[in-house]
Structure 1
Amino acid sequence: MIDAKYQEPVREDEIREKIELGIRERSVDRAYANDLLVSIADVIGISTEQSVLRQEYEEFKNEMETVGPAEDVAEVLQIEQIVVLLGKADIIATLEEREKKYFSKRNSLGRQPLEPLQSFYCPITGDVMEDPVETPSGHSFERYAIEKWLAEENSSCPVTKTPLKVSALRTNKTLRQSIEEWRDRNTMIFIGSMKSQILSNEDEEVIVSLGKLRALCLERELHQDWVMMEDYLPVLVSLLSTKNFQIRSLVLDILRILAAYNDDRKETIAKTDDGIKLIVCSLARKIEESKLALQLLMELSENDVARNIIGSSQGCILLLVTISGSDDPQAASDAKKLLENLSFLQQNIVQMAKANYFGPLLHLLSSGSESVRREMAETLSEVEMTDHGKLTVCESGAVESLVAMLSHVDIEMKKAAILALEKLSGVPQNGLKMIKQGAVDLLFGILFRESLSMPNLVEKVVATITNLALSFASNDPDHHEIPFLESEEDIFKLFSLISLNGPNVQQSVLRTYLAVCQSPSGSNIRKTLRKISSVQVLVQLCEHENLAVRSNAVKLFCALVKDGSDETFEEHVGPKCVETLLRIISTSDNVEESVASMEIISNLPKNPKMTRWILDAGALELIVSILSNRFQKPEIMIESASGALCRFTVSTNHDLQKKVAETGIITTLVHLLDSGSSLTKKNVAVSLRQFSDSSGSLSMPVEPKSGLFSCCLASAEPGCTVHSGICTIESSFCLLEANAVNPLAKVLDEADVGACNASLDALFTLINGEQLQKGSKVLESGDVIAKMVKLLSSPDVRLQEKALVELERIFRLPEYKQKYKSSAQMPLVEITQRGSSRMKSLAAKILAHLNVLNEQSSFF
Structure 2
Amino acid sequence: MSSNGPDPDTLSWAISTTLKTLHATKSTQIQKENFNKLSSYLEKITHILQELTNFEINDSGSLKNAIHVLTKHVSEANNLALECTNRNKIYLLLNSKKLVKTLENITKEMANALNLLPNFISFNGLSQDIIKLSNIMMEPKYQETVREDEIKERIESGIRERNVDRAYANSLLVSIADVIGISTEQSVLRQEYEEFKNEMETVGPAEDVAEVLQVEQIVALLGKADIIATLEEREKKYFSKRNSLGRQPLEPLQSFYCPITGDVMEDPVETPSGHSFERYAIEKWLAEGNNGCPITKTPLKASGLRTNKTLRQSIEEWRDRNTMIFIGSMKSRILSNEEEEVIVSLGKLRDLCLERELHQEWLMMEDYLPVLLSLLSTKNFKIRSHVLVILRILATNNDDRKETIAKTDDGIKLIVCSLARKIKESKLALQLLTELSENEVARNIIGSSQGCILLLVTISGSDDPQVANDAKKLLDNLSFLPQNIVQMAKANYFEPLLHLLSSGSETVQREMADTLSEVEMTDHGKLTVCESGAVESLVAMLSHVDIEMKKAAILALEKLSGVPQNGLKMIKQGAVDLLFGILFRESLSMPILVEKVVATIMNLALSLTSGELDHQEIPFLESEEDVFKLFSLISLNGPNVQQSVLRTFLVVSQSPSGSNIRKTLRKISSVQVLVQLCEHENLAVRSNAVKLFCGLIKDGSENDDTFQEHVGPKCVETLLRIITTSDKVEEGVASMEIISNLPKNPKMTRWILDARALELIVSILTNRFQKPEIMIESASGALSRFTVSSNPDLQKKVAETGIITTLVHLLDSGSSLTKRNVSVSLRQFSESSSSLTRPVKPKSSLFSCCLASPELGCTVHSGICAIDSSFCLLEANAVNPLAKVLDEADVGACDAALDALLTLIAGELLQKGSKVLEGGDVIAKMVKLLSSADVRLQEKALVELERIFRLPEYKQKYKSSAQMPLVEITQRGSSGMKSIAAKILAHLNVLNEQSSFF
TM-score higher than 0.5: yes
Shift of 1:347: 13
CA contact (8 A) 2:830 2:871 kept: yes
In 2, Cα distance between the equivalents of 1:190 and 1:685? 46
CA distance 1:601–1:189, shift in 2 (3 Å): closer
In 1, Cα distance between the equivalents of 2:937 and 2:369? 80
Alpha-carbon displacement from aligned partner over 1:94-149 (angstroms, at most 9, x marks no partner): 99999999999999999999999999999999999999999999999999999999
> Which stretch shifts more, 295-304 or 532-541?
295-304
In 1, Cα distance between the equivalents of 2:536 and 2:643? 28
CA contact (8 A) 1:472 1:479 kept: no
Among 326, 332, 337, the residue aligned to 1:201: 337
SS at match of 1:731: coil
In 2, Cα distance between the equivalents of 1:704 and 1:775? 23
Alpha-carbon displacement from aligned partner over 1:711-761 (angstroms, at most 9, x marks no partner): 989995331111111111111111001000000001111111111110010
> Which stretch shifts more, 451-460 or 758-767?
451-460
CA contact (8 A) 2:340 2:727 kept: no
Shift of 1:289: 15
Shift of 1:389: 4.0
CA contact (8 A) 1:829 1:859 kept: no
Alpha-carbon displacement from aligned partner over 1:509-547 (angstroms, at most 9, x marks no partner): 111111111222111111111111111111111111111
- 2:769 matches 1:645: no
SS at match of 1:623: helix
Equivalent position of 2:935 in the other structure: 797
CA contact (8 A) 2:454 2:489 kept: yes
CA contact (8 A) 2:541 2:550 kept: yes
> Which stretch shifts more, 329-338 or 800-809?
329-338
CA distance 1:253–1:739, shift in 2 (3 Å): closer
Alpha-carbon displacement from aligned partner over 1:329-367 (angstroms, at most 9, x marks no partner): 999788525754899999999999999885554344333
In 2, Cα distance between the equivalents of 1:654 and 1:574? 25
TM-score scaled by structure 1? 0.62
In 2, Cα distance between the equivalents of 1:729 and 1:107? 58
SS at match of 2:236: helix
CA distance 1:387–1:853, shift in 2 (3 Å): farther
In 2, Cα distance between the equivalents of 1:806 and 1:635? 33
> Which stretch shifts more, 361-370 or 142-151?
142-151
Shift of 1:708: 4.5
Alpha-carbon displacement from aligned partner over 1:19-44 (angstroms, at most 9, x marks no partner): 99999999999999999999999999
CA distance 1:18–1:593, shift in 2 (3 Å): closer
Shift of 1:450: 1.9
CA distance 1:726–1:427, shift in 2 (3 Å): same
> Which stretch shifts more, 268-277 or 843-852?
268-277
CA contact (8 A) 1:325 1:386 kept: no
SS at match of 2:858: coil
Shift of 1:687: 0.2
CA distance 1:243–1:580, shift in 2 (3 Å): closer
> Which stretch shifts more, 156-165 or 511-520?
156-165
Q: How many pairs does the alignment contain?
A: 860
Unaligned 5+ residue runs, structure 1?
none
CA distance 1:71–1:409, shift in 2 (3 Å): farther
CA distance 1:361–1:291, shift in 2 (3 Å): farther
CA distance 1:438–1:728, shift in 2 (3 Å): same
In 2, Cα distance between the equivalents of 1:813 and 1:78? 82
Alpha-carbon displacement from aligned partner over 1:376-429 (angstroms, at most 9, x marks no partner): 333433444444443343333332222112112233322222222222222333
In 2, Cα distance between the equivalents of 1:150 and 1:711? 51
CA contact (8 A) 1:692 1:735 kept: yes
CA contact (8 A) 2:860 2:904 kept: yes
CA distance 1:294–1:364, shift in 2 (3 Å): farther
CA contact (8 A) 1:285 1:379 kept: no
CA distance 1:118–1:751, shift in 2 (3 Å): closer
Shift of 1:826: 2.0
In 1, Cα distance between the equivalents of 2:253 and 2:806? 84
CA distance 1:672–1:80, shift in 2 (3 Å): closer
> Which stretch shifts more, 532-541 or 24-33?
24-33
CA distance 1:785–1:355, shift in 2 (3 Å): farther
> Which stretch shifts more, 488-497 or 288-297?
288-297
CA contact (8 A) 2:183 2:189 kept: yes
Shift of 1:611: 0.5
Identity across the alignment (%): 90
SS at match of 1:344: coil
SS at match of 1:141: strand
In 2, Cα distance between the equivalents of 1:139 and 1:789? 59
SS at match of 2:616: helix
CA distance 1:346–1:661, shift in 2 (3 Å): same
Equivalent position of 2:582 in the other structure: 446
Alpha-carbon displacement from aligned partner over 1:796-839 (angstroms, at most 9, x marks no partner): 22221111111121122222112112222222222223322222
SS at match of 1:57: helix
Alpha-carbon displacement from aligned partner over 1:185-210 (angstroms, at most 9, x marks no partner): 99999999999999999999999999
CA distance 1:538–1:4, shift in 2 (3 Å): same
SS at match of 1:452: helix
Among 50, 54, 63, the residue aligned to 2:186: 50
> Which stretch shifts more, 681-690 or 796-805?
796-805
CA contact (8 A) 2:459 2:522 kept: no
In 2, Cα distance between the equivalents of 1:415 and 1:206? 33
- 2:712 matches 1:582: no
CA distance 1:666–1:358, shift in 2 (3 Å): same
In 2, Cα distance between the equivalents of 1:144 and 1:786? 47
CA distance 1:237–1:43, shift in 2 (3 Å): same
After TM superposition, the structure 1 = structure 2 runs for residues 255-654 of structure 1, keeping only pairs within 5 Å, are 319-324=455-460, 335-337=471-473, 339-340=475-476, 359-475=495-611, 478=614, 481-565=617-701, 566-654=704-792
CA contact (8 A) 2:792 2:832 kept: yes
Among 857, 863, 879, the residue aligned to 1:719: 857
CA contact (8 A) 2:883 2:920 kept: yes
Alpha-carbon displacement from aligned partner over 1:486-511 (angstroms, at most 9, x marks no partner): 11111111111111111111111111
Shift of 1:612: 0.7
> Which stretch shifts more, 163-172 or 10-19?
163-172
In 1, Cα distance between the equivalents of 2:768 and 2:272? 79
CA distance 1:830–1:165, shift in 2 (3 Å): closer
> Which stretch shifts more, 775-784 or 515-524?
515-524
- 2:848 matches 1:710: yes
TM-score scaled by structure 2? 0.54
CA distance 1:516–1:187, shift in 2 (3 Å): closer
CA contact (8 A) 1:327 1:386 kept: no
CA distance 1:706–1:535, shift in 2 (3 Å): same
In 2, Cα distance between the equivalents of 1:179 and 1:816? 66
In 1, Cα distance between the equivalents of 2:922 and 2:268? 96
Shift of 1:683: 0.5
CA distance 1:780–1:174, shift in 2 (3 Å): closer
Alignment RMSD, CA only? Answer: 18.3
CA distance 1:846–1:494, shift in 2 (3 Å): same
- 2:372 matches 1:222: no
CA distance 1:69–1:208, shift in 2 (3 Å): closer
Equivalent position of 1:817 in the other structure: 955
CA contact (8 A) 1:422 1:463 kept: yes
CA contact (8 A) 1:463 1:505 kept: yes
In 1, Cα distance between the equivalents of 2:996 and 2:303? 121
Equivalent position of 1:211 in the other structure: 347
CA distance 1:838–1:314, shift in 2 (3 Å): same
Shift of 1:652: 0.5
In 1, Cα distance between the equivalents of 2:281 and 2:730? 58
CA contact (8 A) 2:420 2:522 kept: no
> Which stretch shifts more, 216-225 or 787-796?
216-225
Among 184, 192, 201, the residue aligned to 2:328: 192
Shift of 1:658: 0.7
After TM superposition, the structure 1 = structure 2 runs for residues 622-771 of structure 1, keeping only pairs within 5 Å, are 622-709=760-847, 717-771=855-909
In 1, Cα distance between the equivalents of 2:909 and 2:840? 17
Shift of 1:845: 2.2
In 1, Cα distance between the equivalents of 2:278 and 2:945? 100
Equivalent position of 2:386 in the other structure: 250
